[in-house]
Amino acid sequence: MTFQNLKYESKNKIAYVTINRPDKLNALNMAVMEDLRSAFTTINADAEIRVVILTGAGEKAFVAGADIAELNKHGVVSAKEYTHKGQSVLDLIENLGKPTIACINGFALGGGCELAMACTMRLASENAKLGQPEVKLGLMPGYGGSQRLPRLVGKGVAMQILLAAENISAAEAHRIGLVNEVVPLANLITRAEEIAAKIIANAPLAIQYTMEAVNHGMEMTLPEGLYLEATLFGICCATEDKNEGTKAFLEKRPANFTGK
């Protein structure tokens, strides 16, 4: 599979998606977004792929932001359509049912930070810088930054990041819960692969339903979320993987999950 703006490969049940515009610090334009849509649609349909590792080409940026030259051309109607298209790609990533690990290898600003927040978890290199600088351009986040950021770090901290438009370090991002771990740049992909291997060892449907329970449950009241959890738990109990997992546990052997 080849893309104009992405590098793509898969091995050991992991899909590696690398945004490949290093001369533009991997800035997002609509061509990149459509390549991401195509790649993640393909990943969604491929039962062999269990985890995605998403990063940017080079050592300077995950995604440094939106392509300002492209953004500058939009008026009110086209800008609304532009943001809806981008939001739909990030929604696809967030609700893929397969974990996506963002490896933030440098700048993750604006749309780059928003893309990372749509991923299931985030690892940052020690040189990473994250932020939402849109207000400096007379704009506001358009790919979910005003919504996902407060859900991840809390309203007050999110407001400071959004309104002051100051970049934060990887260490600060970790302190506030925006990234899961900070690791040396050279170890970033290796650490993501270690986490991916642990995920792959578990039951695919259980992973999918757990992600669904968390993603949708966060938008519900606690009683509604608990009802969703109980429903999905019941569905898990009807799967072959549940039978295999419990049998393997009792027999003290590794489980052989099939995603059925």
Which among 9, 134, 194, 224 is annotated as catalytic? Answer: 134
3-state SS, the chain, equals CCCCCEEEEEECCEEEEEECCHHHCCCECHHHHHHHHHHHHHHHHCCCCCEEEEEECCCCEEECCECHHHHCCCCHHHHHHHHHHHHHHHHHHHCCCCCEEEEECCEEECHHHHHHHHCCEEEEECCCEEECCHHHHCCCCCCCHHHHHHHHHCHHHHHHHHHHCCCEEHHHHHHCCCCCEEECHHHHHHHHHHHHHHHHCCCHHHHHHHHHHHHHHCCCCHHHHHHHHHHHHHHHCCCHHHHHHHHHHHCCCCCCCCCC
Across 167-176, b (16+ Cβ under 10 Å) vs e yields: bbebebbbeb
Which among 59, 81, 114, 212 is annotated as catalytic? Answer: 114
CA 77: distance to chain centroid?
A: 28
List CB contacts of 226: < 8 A, sequence separation 6 or more.
none
Q: Is 177 left (phi over 0), alpha (psi -120 to 50) or beta?
A: left
Told to judge if 114 belongs to the known catalytic residues of this protein, a careful annotator would answer yes
| Residues involved in catalysis | 114, 134
